[in-house]
Amino acid sequence: LRMELASESAAREAVSARPATLADQLFLEAGASDDVTSQESAVDYLELRLAYFGTLLDGAASTAIRARFFERIAAW
């Protein structure tokens, strides 16, 4: 998923509106990474990516992203 957003606030709004979409994309990204070989390394990967996004994620979005990501990795 690639979106061009005009500002940080637009990005923040987009993530807040659809945190599950970002979680799904991060799950796919983790699955494609050679460094992710277990649920534990997937969670580590997620936390690094969330830190990268920093202030673009508010607390509610981060919580929703983690919840969806954990749902996805439960099947591993």
For residue range 39-71, what is the model confidence (pLDDT) as tens digits?
999 999 999 999 999 888 999 999 999 999 999
pLDDT grade, residue 11 (50/70/90)?
A: confident
From residue 27, how far is each of 10, 38, 69 by CA, in Å?
Answer: 23, 12, 6
Tell me if 26 sits within 8 A of 3, measured CB to CB: no
